[in-house]
């Protein structure tokens, strides 16, 4: 098997983005566009990858965090110069090189595999990817001879009117014979713009009597390079739809894919239903049969099977099965919600664990709380967990009943089965089974009604 490696170009400035952030780090479906390129290459079986960094190299390298090799191109003297830098970082046994652009994040793995196939089948030094965009302006144009064979790629800036009128554009993705590329890459001429264009290799190959293979992308919208924020939004739209379609094929109902935003890494079980105006982002998971939305945001959280979250926000939390959340509730980071709990309306939870079947209703706040099973948190109840300097914990035992408008001044512990009266301000621990009332709440003895 011939060793194949990829050089991914990511050193350019990306001026047209008008951004402090390097272009290739701008996120698409929740991950940097560069990550989509690397993932597609890996899916095509190309494990050896090197990313050429330059502009914003520190930021790009930090984002890659050692997941893939990088090499710096300094200064940035064009795409041929970038490939030269990348090649120098590859092992000597590499026989075929895929060159990919860090700003073309929609290309599927099959395209890279097909290009390698075209290069091998044709025994050519270059197999390049072309496409027919709706508007080719900005792209290098593919110039073909009367025999239909490619003769050159002419960059827009160097193109005369006739060449500009050509509709076939260069996608910037290639499969090269590594030996041929190594021999040629150093001698690419400097263009009028002062850059060395990788695309000039095509004409020099043809002049030297080599054959150049061309693969025309059958879905041109996937070959586009992102140069500005308009391109970024266009790519986002395409990627979102692809993600939604993948989930729908797996048995997830997405009522309106156009108003549903699901990040690339999200997992959703079959028969889940995603209602309109919902956003599921980060490393989130949604269980079988769950209902998300309408108008719900789930970020870096897991939602259990058959749970329902509507018009609410859940962040960095784990929600068990058959839970109901919403409308208008906010589960902030660090929560663990047990099975069959019910939360809402207007409940806020933070760093809080709820045991099974606990209910947190109407205008309540639980922060830094550990709540047992089958607890009822009455309307308007809150944990006063912050003393101005430090956060304190609240512990509520199983089966406790927190009456409406109770204030629990943390640190505090409410024993299992204990009860608080309406409007109680609880400043001292309440033993199991006791009832407290008033402000500050004091213990009283009441005759318990014995249930029949």
Which residues contribute to the site for ligand UD1 (CB under 6 A)?
A: 9-12, 52, 54, 73, 76-79, 81-82, 101-104, 139-140, 153, 155, 169-172, 197-199, 225, 227
Number of residues that bind Ca ion (CB under 5 A): 3
With contact defined as beta carbons under 8 Å apart, do 84 and 203 qualify? Answer: no
The nearest distance, CB 111 to Ca ion, in angstroms, is: 17
- φ and ψ at residue 303, rounded to 5 degrees: -110, 125
- Give the residue with the Cβ less far from ligand UD1, 14 or 380: 14
- Give the residue with the Cβ less far from Ca ion, 48 or 103: 103
The nearest distance, CB 13 to ligand UD1, in angstroms, is: 8
Q: Is 184 helix (H, G, I), strand (E, B) or coil?
A: helix
- Give the residue with the Cβ less far from Ca ion, 81 or 177: 81
Residue least distant from ligand UD1 (Cβ): 140
Rounded to 5°, angle at Cα 175 from 191 and 234 = 75
The nearest distance, CB 313 to Ca ion, in angstroms, is: 36
Query: How far from the centroid of its chain's Cα atoms is residue 425's Cα?
Result: 44
Bond preceding residue 327 cis, omega within 30 of 0: yes
The nearest distance, CB 292 to ligand UD1, in angstroms, is: 35
Q: Of ligand UD1, Ca ion, none, which one sits near residue 140, judging by CB under 5 to 8 A according to partner kind?
A: ligand UD1
C-alpha–C-alpha distance, residues 197 and 219, integer Å: 25
The nearest distance, CB 197 to Ca ion, in angstroms, is: 12
The nearest distance, CB 226 to Ca ion, in angstroms, is: 7
- Between residue 75 and residue 104, which ones bind Ca ion under the rule CB under 5 A? 103
How far is CA 5 from each of CA 1, 113, 116, 178, 389, rounded to the nearest angstrom? 13, 12, 11, 9, 55
With contact defined as beta carbons under 8 Å apart, do 141 and 164 qualify? Answer: yes
- Give the residue with the Cβ less far from ligand UD1, 165 or 422: 165
The nearest distance, CB 94 to ligand UD1, in angstroms, is: 19
- Give the residue with the Cβ less far from ligand UD1, 155 or 236: 155
Residue identified by tokens 């607890």 is: 375
195-205: burial string, b at 16+ Cβ within 10 Å, e else: bbbbbbbbbeb
- Give the residue with the Cβ less far from ligand UD1, 83 or 266: 83
- Token digits of residue 99: 């060159």
Binding flag, residue 195, Ca ion (CB under 5 A): no
Which residues does the annotation mark as catalytic? 362
Which residue in 309, 248, 246 sits closest to 277, CA to CA? 309
The single-letter DSSP state of residue 190 is: B
- Give the residue with the Cβ less far from ligand UD1, 219 or 442: 219
- Interface stretch with Ca ion, choices 186-194, 217-225, 334-342, 401-409 (CB under 5 A): 217-225
The nearest distance, CB 216 to ligand UD1, in angstroms, is: 14
C-alpha–C-alpha distance, residues 392 and 177, integer Å: 65
Q: Of Ca ion, ligand UD1, none, which one sits near residue 155, judging by CB under 5 to 8 A according to partner kind?
A: ligand UD1
Q: Is 85 helix (H, G, I), strand (E, B) or coil?
A: helix
Which residue in 380, 425, 370 sits closest to 400, CA to CA? 370
Q: Of Ca ion, ligand UD1, none, which one sits near residue 12, judging by CB under 5 to 8 A according to partner kind?
A: ligand UD1
With contact defined as beta carbons under 8 Å apart, do 393 and 413 qualify? Answer: no
- CA end-to-end span of the chain, whole Å? 80
- Give the residue with the Cβ less far from ligand UD1, 124 or 196: 196
Binding flag, residue 155, Ca ion (CB under 5 A): no
338-357: burial string, b at 16+ Cβ within 10 Å, e else: bbbbbbbebbbbbbbbbbbb
C-alpha–C-alpha distance, residues 11 and 6, integer Å: 15
C-alpha–C-alpha distance, residues 189 and 204, integer Å: 10
Query: Binder to Ca ion among 225, 285, 293, 415 (CB under 5 A)?
Result: 225
| Footprint of Ca ion (CB under 5 A) | 103, 225, 227
């Amino acid at each position: 098997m011939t060793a194949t490696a990829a050089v991914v170009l990511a050193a350019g400035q990306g001026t047209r983005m008008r951004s402090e952030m390097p272009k290739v780090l701008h996120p698409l479906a929740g991950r940097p566009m560069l990550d989509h390129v690397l993932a597609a290459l890996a899916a095509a079986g190309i494990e050896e990858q090197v990313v050429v960094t330059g502009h914003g190299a520190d930021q790009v390298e930090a984002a890659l965090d050692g997941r893939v090799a990088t090499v710096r191109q300094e200064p940035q003297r064009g795409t041929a110069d970038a490939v030269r830098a990348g090649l120098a970082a590859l092992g000597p046994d590499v026989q075929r090189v895929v060159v990919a652009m860090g700003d073309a994040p929609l290309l599927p793995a099959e395209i890279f595999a097909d290009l390698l196939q075209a290069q091998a089948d044709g025994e050519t030094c270059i197999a390049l990817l072309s496409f027919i965009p709706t508007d080719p302006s900005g792209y290098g144009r593919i110039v073909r001879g009367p025999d239909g064979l490619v003769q050159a790629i002419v960059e827009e800036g160097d193109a005369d009117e006739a060449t500009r009128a050509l509709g076939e554009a260069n996608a910037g993705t290639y499969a090269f014979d590594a030996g041929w590329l190594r021999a040629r890459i150093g001698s690419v001429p400097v263009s009028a713009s002062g850059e060395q264009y990788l695309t000039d290799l095509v004409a020099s190959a043809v002049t030297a009597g080599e054959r150049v293979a061309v693969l025309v992308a059958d879905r041109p919208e996937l070959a586009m390079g992102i140069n500005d924020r308009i391109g970024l939004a266009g790519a986002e739209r395409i990627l979102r739809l692809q993600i939604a379609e993948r989930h729908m094929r797996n048995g997830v109902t997405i009522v309106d894919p156009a108003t549903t935003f699901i990040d690339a890494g999200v997992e959703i079980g079959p028969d889940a239903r995603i209602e309109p105006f919902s956003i599921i982002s980060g490393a989130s998971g949604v269980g079988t049969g769950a209902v998300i939305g309408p108008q719900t945001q789930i970020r870096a959280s897991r939602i259990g099977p058959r749970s329902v979250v509507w018009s609410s926000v859940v962040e960095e939390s784990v929600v068990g099965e058959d839970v109901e959340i919403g409308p208008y509730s906010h589960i902030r980071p660090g929560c663990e919600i047990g099975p069959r709990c019910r939360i809402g309306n207007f409940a806020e939870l933070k760093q809080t664990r709820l045991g099974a079947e606990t209910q947190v209703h109407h205008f309540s706040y639980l922060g830094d709380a550990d709540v047992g099973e089958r607890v009822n948190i009455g309307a308007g109840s809150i944990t006063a967990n912050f003393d101005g300097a430090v956060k304190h914990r609240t512990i509520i035992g199983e089966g406790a009943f927190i009456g409406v408008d109770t204030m629990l001044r943390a640190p505090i512990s409410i024993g299992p089965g204990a009860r608080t009266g309406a409007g109680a301000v609880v400043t001292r621990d309440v033993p199991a089974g006791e009832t407290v009332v008033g402000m500050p709440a004091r213990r009283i003895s009441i005759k318990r009604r014995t249930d029949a």
